[in-house]
C-alpha cells in the first residue's frame, strides 16, 4: 500500500492531500493546474514537499519530520511523463533497456515479453522521432515497466493520442496493471478515462481534495 | 619563404587552450545550472567579462596575477621554482581566458535547451546524477558544445592583445601567428605578414565551414524523422 500525505506551497495555492493506493489504479482527477502533476513528482522524488510523508509498504520514501528523502533513483517509482520523455538520441531498444540494472536472462525474457504485450517488436531499431504518438506511449510504458517499478505513475498517458488509439491503450493499461499487480497512480482530466480506469478516484481542485464533481 | 614555427606554435597553444576551455566551460555551465550560491550573479558576470573587456586589459590583469611579483607568480616561484610569464604557457593561459566566455555561453545555452523531463525520466529509471549527465545531458547538448569548442579554438588561435602582454613576442618561443603578422607588418615585410594572414584565414574559414556543414548534417535526421511521424 502506498500512503501519500503531503503539503506543498505552490504559486497560487497550497497543495494539501492525503490518500492511499492499494495494488490497483488510483486516478487523480481535476482541472489543469490543480496540483496533480506536483503530487506525481513528489511521489517520484523529483520534487520535495514542504511537509508530510510518503510511505510505500512500510518503506519511508519521504518524511518531513525525520528528514528522510529517498532520491528518485532509489525509489523504484516508474514515471510516464505527459510527453513520454523518451530519449531522442537512442533507439527504442536502448530506451527500454535504460533502466535495467542487470542485463541477464530474466531481463531479456522481460524485454521480449513487453515487446510482445505492447506490440512494439518491430520498432526496436527505430528512433523516437520515427514513432507515432501511440507507439511512443507503448515504448514509454515498456521502458517504465522494464525498470521493475514498485509503483507506476502516469501523467495524462492518453491525452495526446487520437480517439481510436486512446480506447485501445486504455484497455491495455488496465490489463497491464492487473498483470503487474502494483499501484498505478494516473492523472487525467478526462471523466470517461477516470471512470473506466480508476478503482478509486481523488478529485482535486486548487490543491485540495473535493467532493466528486465531473467537470 | 614562410617561417612555419609561429603557425605550429599557434595551433599547439590553441589546442591546449581548447582542452582547458572545454573542461572549465562545461564544469562552470553545469555548476551554474544546478547550484545556487551567494555571489552567483557576480560569477556569471566574471565568466562573461573576458568577452567584452579589451584583450589588452585582460592581458594586463593576467600580467598582474602571474608576473614575478603577482600572487600566482610568487606561488609558482616558491612551490614549483618556475615562472610562466613570457613562456608559451602564458600564451595558453591568455588563450584560455579570452576563449572561455565563448565556450561557457555556448555550453550554457546547450544545457538550457535540454528538456529537463528527459533528465528526470532518467532519474526515475534509476540513473544517478553522473549517469544522467553522461548519457542524457551531454549527448543532447553535444552540437552546442562542439560549436563552442570551434569558436573557442578560433578565438584562441587569433588571440593578440592578452598574449602579447603575458607571453611577449619572442620569435621561436612565444611568437604566434597574430604576433608574427603584427611585427612583420611593422617592419614593412608585407609579403610575410600577408602569408600569415592567408594561413590563419584559411584555418579559421575551414573550421567554421566544417562546423556549419556538420551542424546541418546533424540536424537533418531528426527533421526527416519528424516528417515521418
ipTM of the complex: 0.92
Contact A134, A164 (CB under 8 A): no
- For chain B, say whether A180 makes contact (Cβ under 8 Å): no
Q: How confident is the model at residue B220, as a pLDDT?
A: 66
Does residue A183 fall inside a structural domain? yes
pLDDT (tens digit per residue) in A56-92:
999 999 999 999 999 999 999 999 999 899 999 999 9
DSSP B137: I
CA distance A59 to chain B (A): 17
pLDDT at B132 (0 to 100): 96
Residues B78-136 pLDDT 10s: 999 899 999 999 999 999 999 999 999 999 999 999 999 999 999 999 999 999 999 99
Torsions phi, psi for A98 (to 5 deg) = -55, -40
List the single residue in B with minimal CA-CA distance to A43.
Answer: B124
- On chain B, the residues whose CB falls within 8 A of the CB of A77 are 124
Is pLDDT at B162 greater than 70 in this prediction? yes
User: What residues of A are in contact with residue B121 (Cβ under 8 Å)?
Assistant: 79, 81, 85-87
Judge: B225–A101 Cβ closer than 8 Å, yes or no. no
Whether A102 is covered by a domain: the verdict is: no
Cβ pair B123:A71 closer than 8 A: yes
Count structural domains, chain A. Answer: 1
Segments forming the whole domain that contains residue A61:
2-89+150-209
The answer to whether the CB atoms of B124 and A79 lie below 8 A apart is: yes
Q: Which residue has the cell 494516473?
A: A186
Share of chain A above pLDDT 70, in %: 100
Q: Measured between CB atoms, does A151 come within 8 Å of chain B?
A: no
Q: Is the pLDDT of residue A45 over 60?
A: yes
CATH code (residue A62): 3.40.50.300
- Contacting residues of A for B143, CB less than 8 Å apart: none
Instruction: List CB contacts of A125: < 8 A, sequence separation 6 or more.
Output: A91, A92, A93
The alpha carbon of residue A108 is apart from the nearest alpha carbon of chain B, in Å, by 17
Q: How far apart are CA B173 and CA B90, in angstroms?
A: 11
Residues of A in contact with B226 (CB under 8 A): 129
Domain count for chain B, please give it: 1
For chain A, give the mean pLDDT. Answer: 93
Count Cβ–Cβ pairs < 8 Å, chain A vs chain B: 72
Q: How many Å apart are CA A41 and CA A72, to the nearest integer?
A: 10
Per-residue pLDDT at A215: 65
pLDDT for the residue numbered B219:
76
Q: CB under 8 Å to B219, separation ≥6 — which residues?
A: B143
Largest CA distance in chain B: 67
Taking CB atoms and an 8 Å cutoff, what residues of chain A touch B229?
129-133
What does the DSSP 8-state code read for residue B15?
Answer: H
Asked if B126 and A81 come within 8 Å (Cβ–Cβ), the reply is no
B226: distance to nearest CA of chain A, Å? Answer: 5
Identify the closest residue of chain B to A45 by CA–CA distance.
B124
Indicate the average pLDDT of chain B: 92
What is the predicted pLDDT for the residue at B228?
40
B120 to A46: CB separation less than 8 angstroms, yes or no: yes
Q: Which residue of A has its CA nearest to B128?
A: A73
Domain that holds residue B61: 5-228
Smallest Cβ–Cβ distance between B125 and the set A88, A99, A130 belongs to A99
Residue B225 pLDDT grade (very low, low, confident, very high; cuts 50, 70, 90): very low
Residue B128 exposed, middle or buried by CB count within 10 Å (0-12, 13-18, 19+)? middle
In a domain, A142, yes or no: no
Q: Which residue of A has its CA nearest to B136?
A: A87
A102 touches chain B (CB under 8 A): no
> Which one of B125, B140, B228 has the shortest CB-CB distance to A130?
B228
Euclidean distance between CA atoms B17 and A35, whole angstroms: 49
Q: Is A55 on the interface with B (CB under 8 A)?
A: no
Domain harbouring B15, CATH code: 1.10.3720.10
Distance from C-alpha of A129 to C-alpha of B160, rounded to nearest angstrom = 46
Q: Check A78 against B124: CB less than 8 A apart.
A: yes
Asked whether residue A173 is assigned to any structural domain, the reply reads: yes
Amino acid at each position: 500500500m502506498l500512503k501519500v500525505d503531503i503539503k506543498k506551497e505552490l504559486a497560487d495555492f497550497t497543495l494539501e492531500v492525503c490518500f492511499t493506493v492499494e495494488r490497483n489504479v488510483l486516478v487523480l482527477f481535476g482541472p489543469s493546474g490543480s496540483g496533480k502533476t506536483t503530487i506525481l513528482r513528489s511521489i517520484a522524488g523529483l520534487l520535495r514537499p514542504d511537509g508530510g510523508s510518503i510511505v510505500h509498504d512500510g518503506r519511508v520514501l519521504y518524511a518531513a519530520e525525520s528528514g528522510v528523502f529517498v532520491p528518485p533513483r532509489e525509489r523504484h517509482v516508474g514515471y510516464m511523463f505527459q510527453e513520454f520523455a523518451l530519449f531522442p538520441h537512442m533507439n527504442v531498444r536502448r530506451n527500454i533497456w535504460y533502466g535495467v540494472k542487470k542485463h541477464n536472462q530474466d531481463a531479456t525474457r522481460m524485454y521480449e515479453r513487453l515487446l510482445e504485450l505492447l506490440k512494439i517488436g518491430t520498432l526496436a531499431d527505430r528512433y523516437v522521432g520515427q514513432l507515432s504518438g501511440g507507439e511512443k506511449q507503448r515504448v514509454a510504458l515498456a521502458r517504465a515497466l522494464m525498470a521493475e517499478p514498485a509503483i507506476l505513475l502516469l501523467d495524462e498517458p492518453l491525452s495526446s493520442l487520437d480517439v481510436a488509439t486512446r480506447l485501445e491503450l486504455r484497455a491495455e493499461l488496465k490489463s497491464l496493471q492487473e498483470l503487474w499487480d502494483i499501484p498505478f497512480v494516473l492523472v487525467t482530466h478526462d471523466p470517461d478515462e477516470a471512470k473506466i480506469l480508476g478503482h478509486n478516484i481523488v478529485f482535486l481542485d486548487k490543491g485540495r481534495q473535493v467532493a466528486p464533481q465531473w467537470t | 619563404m614562410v617561417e612555419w614555427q609561429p603557425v605550429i606554435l599557434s595551433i599547439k597553444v590553441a589546442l591546449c587552450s581548447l582542452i582547458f576551455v572545454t573542461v572549465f566551460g562545461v564544469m562552470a555551465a553545469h555548476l551554474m545550472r544546478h547550484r545556487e550560491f551567494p555571489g552567483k550573479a557576480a560569477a556569471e558576470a566574471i565568466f562573461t567579462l573576458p568577452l567584452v573587456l579589451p584583450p589588452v586589459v585582460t592581458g594586463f590583469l593576467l600580467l598582474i596575477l602571474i608576473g614575478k611579483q603577482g600572487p600566482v607568480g610568487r606561488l609558482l616561484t616558491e612551490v614549483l621554482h618556475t615562472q610562466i610569464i613570457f613562456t608559451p604557457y602564458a600564451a595558453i593561459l591568455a588563450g584560455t581566458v579570452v576563449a572561455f566566455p565563448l565556450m561557457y555561453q555556448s555550453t550554457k545555452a546547450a544545457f538550457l535547451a535540454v528538456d529537463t523531463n528527459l533528465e528526470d525520466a532518467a532519474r526515475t529509471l534509476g540513473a544517478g546524477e553522473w549517469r544522467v549527465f553522461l548519457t542524457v545531458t551531454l549527448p543532447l547538448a553535444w552540437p552546442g558544445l562542439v560549436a563552442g569548442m570551434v569558436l573557442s579554438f578560433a578565438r584562441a588561435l587569433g588571440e593578440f592583445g592578452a598574449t602579447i602582454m603575458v607571453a611577449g613576442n619572442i620569435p621561436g618561443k612565444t611568437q604566434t601567428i597574430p604576433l608574427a603578422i603584427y611585427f612583420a607588418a611593422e617592419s614593412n615585410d608585407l609579403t610575410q605578414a600577408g602569408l600569415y594572414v592567408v594561413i590563419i584565414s584559411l584555418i579559421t574559414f575551414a573550421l567554421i565551414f566544417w562546423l556549419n556543414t556538420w551542424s546541418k548534417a546533424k540536424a537533418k535526421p531528426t527533421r526527416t524523422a519528424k516528417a515521418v511521424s
